[in-house]
Structure 1
Amino acid sequence: MPTAAKLVAALCLAALGFGVSELIKTLMPASTAFGSFSFINAGLGLVVGWIVVGNRAGRGQAAAVGNGITGVVSLVFWGLFIQAVNEMVKKAMQHHYDGPVEAFVAVFQIMVDFGAMLLDPKVLLALLCGALVTGYFSEVAAGRWR
């Protein structure tokens, strides 16, 4: 059932997904072609915010911090997974892998490589602040609009 908390959480995580994606673009070489990288992560933020954070809102301010962190961790995991699968498919189309098992294992190796970029202090700070803001605002929305 749609609630204000789900909508607020979805919008917050979509904005965070887009913003962090734009921040990551500045860390990559200028020749990197990103395509719809930011928009995919924003859409993923909408889904994760609605399902993960929005469903857990309304349990108090202490739980709001945990909800926000859980939402951001979920967003990062699924974002890394989707982007890694996309990269694996690109490489598979260029016959980079010998078989499907090697391609499957490569997804997790690519996730680790992409995840290393998230260890930049600016990215970590943005994710932490986004988690707190998302948890707080979804909690406020759950309390205000029941």
Structure 2
Amino acid sequence: MPTGARLVAALGLAFLGLIVSGQVVLLYPEGTDFGWFTTINTALGLLVGWQTLGPRAGRGAAVAITNGITGAVVLLFWALFVQAVNEMVRLAMANRYDSPLEALVAVFEIGVGFFLRIATPGILVTLAIGGVIVSLAAEAAARRWR
């Protein structure tokens, strides 16, 4: 059911996904082709905010803080997973893998590699603080629009 809290959480996490995607782009060499990277991460922020963060709003500020961190972690997980699957498919089309199992294992290896590359204090702090701010905004929306 659509609520104000879901809308605020979805738009907030979409914006957070956009900001963090911009930070990640800066970590890679100039000229790297990112394709739909930012758009996909923004869309994932929209979905995670709507499905994960929005429904949990309205339980108090202390719960909102933990929900914000949870929302940021869920967004990070799905973004890493989707981007790793995308990279695996790209490599599979270049005949890099001998079996489907090898390609499936590669998704997790690629995802861990991506995480280690982007696990800088700036990105992790942005995710944590941004998630808490979005969650507190969703909490305020839940109290205001019942």
Q: TM-score by structure 2 length? A: 0.98
Tell me, yes or no, if structure 1 residue 59 matches structure 2 residue 59.
Answer: yes
Q: Which amino acid aligns with 2:81?
A: F
Where does residue 26 of structure 2 map in the other structure? 26
Letter in 2 for 1:35: G
- The amino acid that maps onto 1:52 is T
1:36-84 C-alpha deviation (Å, 9 max, x unpaired): 1001000000000000000100000010001111111110000000000
Instruction: Give the percent of matched residue pairs that are identical in Structure 1 and Structure 2.
Output: 54
Between the aligned partners of 2:29 and 2:102, the Cα distance in structure 1 is 27
Asked if the contact 2:4/2:142 (under 8 Å) is kept, the reply is: yes
Residue identity in the other structure for 2:130: G
Q: Secondary structure at the match of 1:133?
A: helix
- Runs of 4 or more consecutive aligned structure 1 residues displaced over 3 Å after TM superposition: none
The equivalent of 1:124 in structure 2 is: 124
Output the CA distance in 2 between the equivalents of 1:26 and 1:127.
16
Matches within 5 A, 1:63-102: 63-102=63-102
Report the TM-score, using the length of structure 1 for normalisation.
0.98
The amino acid of 1:59's aligned partner reads R
The aligned counterpart of 1:107 is 107
Instruction: State the Cα distance separating 1:118 from its structure 2 match.
Output: 2.5
Q: How far apart, CA to CA, are the structure 2 residues paired with 1:109 and 1:89? A: 13
Q: How many residues align?
A: 146
Matched residue SS, 1:59: coil
CA separation in 1, counterparts of 2:129 and 2:33?
A: 28
**Residue in 1 that maps onto 2:138:** 138
